[in-house]
């Protein structure tokens, strides 16, 4: 069905259709491979840093806090300027900023998958596919997750705050999903926890939103170290 400017319902229909795309972007059904990453939770469990529900809750809050302080600037800037040059610049800076090898590889893996899926699924936005093809050829772009997520959000018509909120949402979604797969919490408990943590996530968003990449920082050094330990786990379910 074509959405033409001559149509009476033009803008409203476009908005409604856009919402379907936005919801699809946040749906865990989208095959972006987010389920392969535990954000350091698996390592935290194996080193006894997380061994009860309270510690799990605290851990998730720390992940959200660090996501806010370190990654939201990249989502923010990509979403307000969803252009090739902006994306490439942010990708380069994030590659130097993600000093933790495990996190860096996870970001590249998720970002590549998201860009591949996004350009195939949201085919009415040819710019995504074009940008992807241009970047694959260059060999210098790492395809980090946060800038690509911001880029797609911006292209889909989400404003910057919503884009950043969406990034917090999928981060929380993925850590909690990892918690259920690690048998730390059951599916219903996970859903309850996710709802309980929404106000925390929103407060964290308010604190860290709309910042410049120069201000990107780590606020949870222990979390960063634990995430880096994932490679030392003898048996593991997740890749990070």
Partner 1 sequence: MGNEQEDKEMEMGSIVVEKVGGRSSVVHCFSRYPVKFIIPKKVGSSRTDAVWVYALNYGGGIVSGDQILCKFSVGDCCTMVLTTQGSTKVYKSVGSKCSKQLLEARVGSNALLAIIPDPVTCFSTARYYQKQVFNVSSNSNLVIVDWITSGRHESGEKWDFDLYRSINNIFLEDGEPLFLDTMSLEKEKIGCIHELVQDYQVIAMILLLGPKLQFVQNLVQDKVKGIMSEQLQHPSGALSHKRNEAGYFISKPSLMASCSVFGTKIAVILNLDGTAMISNYNIILWASSRVEIIELALSSCLLRTIVF
Q: How far is the CB of 136 from partner 1 (least distance, A)?
A: 20
196 binds partner 1 (CB under 8 A): no
Single out the residue of 135, 136, 39 nearest to residue 83, CA to CA: 135
Angle at Cα 91 formed by Cα 87 and Cα 96, nearest 5°?
A: 155
132 binds partner 1 (CB under 8 A): no
CA separation for the pair 200, 186 (Å, rounded): 21
CA separation for the pair 27, 182 (Å, rounded): 21
222 binds partner 1 (CB under 8 A): yes
Taking CB under 8 A as the binding criterion, the range among 12-20, 125-133, 142-150, 229-237 that sits at the site for partner 1 is: 229-237
Q: Which is nearer to partner 1, 48 or 138 (CB)?
A: 48
Run of H or E including 152: helix 145-155
Angle at Cα 133 formed by Cα 129 and Cα 139, nearest 5°?
A: 145
CA separation for the pair 152, 70 (Å, rounded): 19
Q: Which is nearer to partner 1, 172 or 179 (CB)?
A: 179
Q: How far is the CB of 112 from partner 1 (least distance, A)?
A: 19
Q: How far is the CB of 96 from partner 1 (least distance, A)?
A: 4
Size of the site for partner 1 (CB under 8 A): 48
CA distances from 214 to 85, 120, 161, 220 (A): 18, 33, 19, 18
Sole binder of partner 1 in the list 63, 64, 71, 184 (CB under 8 A)? 184
97 binds partner 1 (CB under 8 A): yes
Greatest CA separation for the chain:
62
Asked if 79 and 158 count as a contact pair (C-beta separation under 8 A), the reply is yes
Asked if 239 and 37 count as a contact pair (C-beta separation under 8 A), the reply is yes
Q: Which is nearer to partner 1, 104 or 145 (CB)?
A: 104
Helix axes 84-97, 126-138, angle to 10 degrees: 50
Q: How far is the CB of 168 from partner 1 (least distance, A)?
A: 16
14 binds partner 1 (CB under 8 A): no
* Subset of 62-91 contacting partner 1 (CB under 8 A): 62, 65, 69
Sole binder of partner 1 in the list 37, 76, 104, 145 (CB under 8 A)? 104
Residues 6+ apart with CB under 8 A from 160: 76, 79, 80, 154, 209, 210
96 binds partner 1 (CB under 8 A): yes
Sole binder of partner 1 in the list 125, 216, 238, 240 (CB under 8 A)? 216
x/- contact string, 44-63, with partner 1 (CB under 8 A)?
A: -xxxxxxxxx--x-x---x-
Which residues lie near partner 1 (CB under 8 A)? 43, 45-53, 56, 58, 62, 65, 69, 92-93, 96-97, 99-102, 104, 182-185, 207, 216-229, 231-235
């Amino acid at each position: 069905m074509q959405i033409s400017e001559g149509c009476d319902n033009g803008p409203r229909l476009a908005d409604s259709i856009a919402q379907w795309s936005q919801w699809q972007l946040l749906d865990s059904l989208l095959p972006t491979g987010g389920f392969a990453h535990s954000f350091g939770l698996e390592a935290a469990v194996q080193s006894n840093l997380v061994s009860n529900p309270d510690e799990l809750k605290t851990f998730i809050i720390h992940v959200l806090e660090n996501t806010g302080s370190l990654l939201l600037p990249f989502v923010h800037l990509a979403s307000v300027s969803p252009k090739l040059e902006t994306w490439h610049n942010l990708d380069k800076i994030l590659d130097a900023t993600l000093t933790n090898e495990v996190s860096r590889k996870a970001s590249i893996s998720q970002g590549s998958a998201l860009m591949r899926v996004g350009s195939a699924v949201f085919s009415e936005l040819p710019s995504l596919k074009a940008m992807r093809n241009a970047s694959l050829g260059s060999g210098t772009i790492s395809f980090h997750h946060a800038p690509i997520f911001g880029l797609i959000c911006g292209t889909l018509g989400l404003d910057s705050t919503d884009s950043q909120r969406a990034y917090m949402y999928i981060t929380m979604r993925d850590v909690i999903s990892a918690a259920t797969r690690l048998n730390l919490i059951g599916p219903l408990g996970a859903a309850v926890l996710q709802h309980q943590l929404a106000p925390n996530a929103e407060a964290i968003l308010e604190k860290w939103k709309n910042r410049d990449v120069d201000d990107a920082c780590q606020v949870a050094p222990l979390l960063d170290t634990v995430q880096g330990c994932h490679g030392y786990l003898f048996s593991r379910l997740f890749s990070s």
